[in-house]
Structure 1
């Protein structure tokens, strides 16, 4: 039953572009002791088991990671903007269906796991 609700929620939300997602409120805004490349490497390692490889783009002085959806090819599910700070980096996570409580939590789990300055 839960799976049916998730599939219905995904079907109702339709396609989203990077521009659509980046204009939603951030679901997470944190700072990390890691520089942008270290944080990105950690995030990519943590998300590798649950998603296809994300797209990485240079953005301003940092990086942008565009995470693909789990079930629909080609559409983004989340965006991470990682900017350098004096002692690490700031990270903002934007998710496509941020207002759906039963959305997959793998992006937030991976983003949270990589916050500390440790490897």
Structure 2
């Protein structure tokens, strides 16, 4: 019964847009010694096996990555990764569509963490 309620609540929430994600709280707010380009390339490479290609947007001296949903096309973004240039690296903010849902896929969060200092 709990699964039915969870599935129903997901169906009723609809699709999130990029602007919806921009207004949500960050799931992660971290810094890295990598440049925005190095960090973005790491995220793209790490998620290449589990997601369709990410959309990249240049924002000032930083980048924004829009991560597509795992299932379905045109369902809106699953996550937004904002990467801003700092004097010695990058400031990274991750915003996820289902940030309060405990059974959401963890690949985006794992990639965000792995790319902080990993190679």
Query: What stretches of structure 1 move > 2 A for 4+ residues in a row?
Result: 1-10
Report the more deviating stretch, 3-12 or 66-75. Answer: 3-12
Q: Give the Cα–Cα distance (whole angstroms) in 1 for the partners of residues 3 and 58 of structure 2.
A: 36
1:1-119 equivalent positions in 2, closer than 5 A: 7-74=7-74, 75-116=76-117, 118-119=118-119
In the alignment, structure 1 segments of 5+ residues that lack a partner are: none
Unaligned runs of 5+ in 2: none
Which secondary structure state, in structure 1, belongs to the residue aligned with residue 116 of structure 2?
A: coil
Q: CA RMSD in A?
A: 1.8
Q: 2:46 and 2:67 mapped to 1: Cα distance?
A: 12
Count of aligned pairs between the two proteins: 118
Contact 1:6–1:103 (Cα < 8 Å) also in 2: no
- Give yes or no for contact 1:13–1:97 (8 Å, CA) kept in 2: no
- TM-score, normalised relative to structure 2: 0.90
